[in-house]
Structures are given as C-alpha cells and as structure tokens.
Amino acid sequence: MASAGGGDGSEPEFQVAPMIDVLLVLLIFFMSITTDQVMKVDKSIKLPLAPEAKARKHDIKNEAIVNVDWDAALARAQVRYGAQICDPLEQLAELVRPAKEANPKLKLIIRGDADAPAIEIQKVIEQLATAGIDDISLSGTNRNSP
C-alpha cells in the first residue's frame, strides 16, 4: 500500500512553521483593524450621563463615528469625522456622502460632549440627513466618568 509520507513507512510530521506564519498574519490583521476603530473615538469627549443606557453590539463594518467636542472658551463645537475636522460644518455632509454610497448600511454614531448645547448636535444630525444617512445613534454613558 502506498504511503503519503516520506516513503519510509513512518507517519508524516506536522509542520509548525507555516502555522505560526498564518497566526502572525492574522494577529497583525486584527490589531490593525482594532487600532483603526480605537483612533476614531475621541477619549477627551465627556459623554452625557444616561443612567438607563444599555451597552449594544457594535457592527464595526457598518459603523462610523462623528465626534462633537465643545470648546467653552470659543463657545463653539468642533466636529470631526474620523480624523477630519469639519470646518465649516457643511464639510461633514461632503465627507460622509461617499461613505454612504459605498456602504448603504452605514450607521453613524454621534459622540457629543455633555457640555455641547443640543442645537449643535441638531446641526450635526441635519448635515448627516443631507448626506443621506438614515441610521443615526447618539452615544452616552450609564456611569459617572472620573
């Protein structure tokens, strides 16, 4: 009977080196994806307190984040889509529109500073609606942050 091994009748050996290569490639791939998503969340924004808020599952492929940071000294909001600052605010619609065309399931999460007036968040929502975004969420926290 023919053997699939080396011809000496012994069992074939399991090659570990190719498996390690594949695992390292996967590790680098997942680290790069995670880093990309973490960079979009601005940790300096103090989210509003929502005691009844519940954690939800993230759909990373179909989600994007808009950060709205309130500058009290200038009494104005700074809006960022990813790393891009939208000044004037109308740039937000221009930046989001191609992403919506590329991904019809796109959901936008607005991370508004707790000190930002509601009218500023409303302006952001209006710009997103202009860009054709129909799935918008507001981010909050259910605990006091230090």
5 lies in some domain: no
8 lies in some domain: no
Q: What is the DSSP string of the chain?
A: ---SSSSSSSPPPPP-HHHHHHHHHHHHHHHHHHHHHHHHS-TTS-PPB-TT-------GGGEEEEEEEEETTTTEEEEEETTEE-SSTTHHHHHHHHHHHH-TT-EEEEEE-TTS-HHHHHHHHHHHHHTT---EEE--BSS---
1 lies in some domain: no
**Which domain does 80 fall in, by range?**
13-146
The angle, 0 to 180 degrees and rounded to 10, between the axes of the packed helices 91-102 and 118-130 is 50
Split into its structural domains, the chain has a count of 1
4 lies in some domain: no
- In this model, does residue 59 exceed pLDDT 90? no
96 lies in some domain: yes
The percent of residues in the chain predicted with pLDDT above 70, rounded, is 80
2 lies in some domain: no
CATH code where residue 42 lies: 3.30.420.270
Torsion of CA 71, 75, 81, 85, to 10 degrees: -80
6 lies in some domain: no
Q: What integer pLDDT is reported at residue 80 of this predicted model?
A: 92
Which has the minimum average pLDDT: 80-89, 117-126, 134-143?
A: 134-143
- In this model, does residue 146 exceed pLDDT 60? no
- In this model, does residue 92 exceed pLDDT 70? yes
47 lies in some domain: yes
Q: Please state, in angstroms and rounded to a whole number, the distance separating the CA atoms of residues 45 and 136.
A: 18
- How do residues 33-55 score in pLDDT, each as one tens digit? 765 555 566 666 777 777 776 67
